[in-house]
Amino acid sequence: MERNDRTLALVLAAGEGTRMRSARPKVLHQVAGLSLVGHALRAAGTAGFSNLAAVIGPDRPDVAAEIGRVAPGTAIFEQRERRGTAHAVLQARAAIAAGGGTLLVLFGDTPLVRPETMRALAAAAAEPGCAVAVMGFEAADPAGYGRLVTELGELVAIREHKDASEAERTIRLCNGGLMALNGEVALALLDAIRPDNAQNEFYLTDCVALARARGYRAQVVLAPEEEAMGVNDRVQLAACEAILQRRLREAHLRAGVTMIAPETVFLSLDTEIGRDTVIEPHVVIGPGVRIAAGAVIHAFSHLEGAIVGEGASVGPFARLRPGADLGTGAKVGNFVEIKNADLGAGAKVSHLTYLGDATIGAEANIGAGTITCNYDGFNKFRTEIGAHAFIGSNSALVAPVTIGAGAFVGSGSVITEDVPADALALGRGRQTVKPGWAVTFRARPENAAKTKARTPKGG
């Protein structure tokens, strides 16, 4: 995407969101693995806007940290008083004055706005003679929304529902909130806004009437209704999640991914999946996952921060935690957990195993019930397993430890020392068999009555 340094994309993220009933500010709640404010910043970046700013509430280092994580270099301003949207925008006066180009005002609680819509808004406001461009949508039910009043294709007013006439209330073209201002007049329009309303607040929507009074045009950029959906409570948060999941599934399906039951698969915004991958039902993919072509993710698996190589197989009922890296053709089977571990090409961990902080060589085989004991209560240590090694079932590998290439570890072993290549290691007590012991044990006086009670009648 071509960079656009002339547009300042300003995200308003100062609201606390009391209806969320949360200790966290609203803009830090997530959909598809990314915060609400992160969606606005990410979409602006995808649209090509490299000049980013955000207005946050006072004493919110958590919001500032999230903005810096998602979009490093974003200029951050505080709104210490809550006096309306135009007042919030003017907290970034320094950035607006320095930019000189189009001002694109975004909101930190509208995660469904597409980059294409943002670009269209900025382009419309930059047209000769135009001062304001407003995102609008055709509402299925316009009740409660501000109406966009137009004449001959131009926007003449934004009328709040409570202030609209009967005729205006029949208008289905509604205000989507986002607005772009021509940089040559942006500050002049913002400074002219007055709090002449019952709430004594400075409304960004007043820019339309002010621009027209000064001889400029205002216009509407149409977008689908779902893009205007904001998040004010957890019901709307869930609704946005559902819409975004539908978009993500459809995009991956069209890119060549098979999902047996798409409605049961949950993805993250940054999920990467190669073509001809098959995803079975009830799979959850958290942030930071890359799946190469031809992999199979079996049912009821959970992946986060993991890399799955070409043709690899995961699950069913597997968990890949951050740092899991599966090589080409590797297999992670049912009830296996992998964390911060690399599996070489063709390595197999088929069932009931935990591998943490480990390197597994190519074509190695890890038996059922094996665990790497990587944590001593204070520090974590690494286990190294060479190519073609065979680890018997129910083994405990106490890190730091190295199992050489081609080595065997006998079932039930506890391995505390390095094992050379091609060696056999046994770390278990020697089996002892005492013939007839059970008969004597059952015959003890304290056990005899219990033994008789357990004997079936007629037996």
Quote the tokens at residue 396: 């405990």
Q: For the chain, what's the residue count?
A: 459
418/422 Cα distance (integer angstroms): 12
Helix (H) or strand (E) holding 125: helix 115-125
Q: Which of the residues 39, 87, 351, 388 is marked catalytic?
A: 351
Sign of CA dihedral 27, 243, 143, 210: positive
Backbone angles phi, psi at 17, to 5 degrees: 70, 60
Angle CA 414–417–419, to nearest 5: 95
Residues near 235 by beta carbon (within 8 Å), at least 6 away in sequence: none
What is the β-pairing status of strands 365-366 and 348-360? Answer: parallel
252/324 Cα distance (integer angstroms): 22
Q: Is 89 exposed, middle or buried (0-12, 13-18, 19+ CB in 10 A)?
A: buried
96/183 Cα distance (integer angstroms): 8
Residues near 341 by beta carbon (within 8 Å), at least 6 away in sequence: 323, 324, 325, 355, 356, 357, 358, 359, 360, 372
For the chain, the helix, strand and coil percentages under 3-state DSSP, each to the nearest 5:
25, 30, 45
Q: Which of 402, 298, 315 is nearest to 353 (CA)?
A: 315
Q: Is 222 exposed, middle or buried (0-12, 13-18, 19+ CB in 10 A)?
A: middle
Q: What is the DSSP letter of 43?
A: H
Active site residue 351: yes
104 Ramachandran zone, left/alpha/beta (phi>0; psi -120 to 50): beta
End-to-end CA distance of the chain: 82
3-class secondary structure, 154: strand
Backbone angles phi, psi at 148, to 5 degrees: -100, 110
Are 2 and 48 in contact by the 8 Å Cβ rule? The answer is yes
Known catalytic residues are 351
